[in-house]
Structure 1
Amino acid sequence: MAHKTTLKAIAEHLNLSISTVSKALADSPEISDATKLVVKTAARQLKYRPNAMARGLKSSRTKTIGVVIPNIMHNFFAKVIMGMEDEATKNGYSLVTCISNESLQKEKQSINMLSDVSVDAIIISLSSETQQTEELEHLNDILYFDIPLVQFDRVNEKLLSHSVVINDFKGAYDSTMHLHKTGCRHIALLSILTNTSVGKKRAEGYEAAVRELGYEPKIINTKLENLEADLSAFLKDNDLDGIVTTDESSAIYAMNALRINNRRVPDDVGVIGFTDGALARNYFPPLTTIKQQAEIIGKRTIQIAIESLEAKTKKDPIQETIETELVIRKSTRTI
């Protein structure tokens, strides 16, 4: 277990007084900006934190687990939180939940806040900005101080932490193959998750399927707000009779865009999404979708966090993959 860096250690490192170091870290007007910069840089390099992040300071657990998610509006993350809440309550833990809104900076702020309130473990699905930049120092700091860290859904394999994901590759592969079985021969992938690990895995699964079938991949990378225009433009120049989307919202938007372009679902174009939330079940036509087992993911992340806390010796990271399920509804033709 790592030892906490003290004010005294920083002071000795810089040949300054403890008082000067303390005031510099507190942004005291008595200290020059140049000295503040030197002190804060050293504090960062020496991994100093004036709180309970250093596990040796904690005499007892808080029975709280911190959770950071990128977007609360996605049905998937809401259902994951439900699974976490049930499992945490069953084991006498409470959750402190933060939303990064896909921002690296907000993710860092959330991690700092959670460490400041002394949560026992942290569970996170990385923001799209974190995945794009691969800036991981704030998460490696958590690992440095032996705080259990569990990644889920969106993960970075460079982090030596626990993780729980679904088989995104197989989900997209199975979706593409199902569309082919229904008679589709011009199948495209519509992705709004281009810069995320899940988006990349789903693209790989789709590409593997279409190449196995002897077709060229057709990938439309877009944003939700641009989806209708981008799909409409694609339809003008390309044959299309099947779409695999990377999430639930884009599937619904895609079906709307198809109607605007006088394409019937599923007669002209079959559509498959990911998540299996309320929209998928209640839209017309109801959406064929990959069920992501969100509540199971939530429960399992909590179980792994608690197992790590209760382990007498440090164990190797657990990497767990949960299989998906294709739920067939009316947005695809019958085989």
Structure 2
Amino acid sequence: MSAHGSSENDSYVKPNQPYERDTRYIETRITRDGADGYPVEAGRYRLVVSYACPWANRTIIVRRLLGLEDAISMGVCGPTHDKRSWTFDLDPGAVDPVLGISHLQEAYFARIPGYEKGITVPAIVDVPSGAVVTNNFPQITLDFEQEWVDFHRAGAPDLYPADLRAEIDEVNAHVYRDVNNGVYRCGFAGSQESYDAAYDQLFARLDWLSERLKDQRYLVGDTITEADVRLYTTLARFDPVYHGHFKCNREKLSEMPVLWAYARDLYQTPGFGDSTNFAHIKSHYYEVHRDINPSGIVPKGPDLANWTTPHGREQLGGSPFGTGTAPAAL
């Protein structure tokens, strides 16, 4: 989620145009062979996130599921940001205690002086140099799963099993286009025509997902995979934000029986609900997107207590972690 050029007074909506996400990321990778100059090394890197951002939320969940907390430290930005970038206003003195910076922009500039693209979370920063290594969020979690295996906890689940990768990739492509990014294409549409098209595409895909999940507990295979993580972070934001703020209002998630039960099943699984911060989510969207919520007022609802109600998905079989185990309770 970008903060550069996105102050509270900036516009996310371009009149008479559909929303197009800027996907020009820093594609450097941290790998076991260090091919890009950044080898896997415990304690060297810091993952910078915001609990508000769905793309960053993925990395928080995967890091916790795999038990990478001791290998990769995590800095948390507040839910809002200023015109420069995401800020560390949750920390004492509003400075990240490891990186020693107040704005994430400083780490981007340390890598690429005058960096002009989006200052986005998640970002992985090389602590010794203070420079961003990558903000390529789709690749970050895949590399956590494949390149950081030597630092996975005992019992860590296989979130990207080799025999299911083609299917996971296919599902992820549909979900990204129509759902993960589809809600933004609704919310930031610059014309009725582009909004209508995005809305229809979003709900057609949600119907497709409901049908897929009607008789199977997880999206691909019988355990949690990368595909479930990617869908979950959008579903968690659906009723608090996307339904009203982004006009994705054919119905609420809580009115879609299959997806609502599926989302609650994940929320109640260690690593998901304990990595979800509804207060940060609501604060970010309603306070920052002033061109579609000019008052900046954050709605009090909906009541989120229903996320902990029984979901009944156990009867479909499957096991969240397969032959692995749940991460330790926080």
Under a length normalisation based on structure 2, what TM-score does the superposition of the two structures give? 0.29
The structure whose residues are more often helix, as a share, is 1
The structure whose residues are more often strand, as a share, is 1
Give the structure with higher Rg (CA). 1
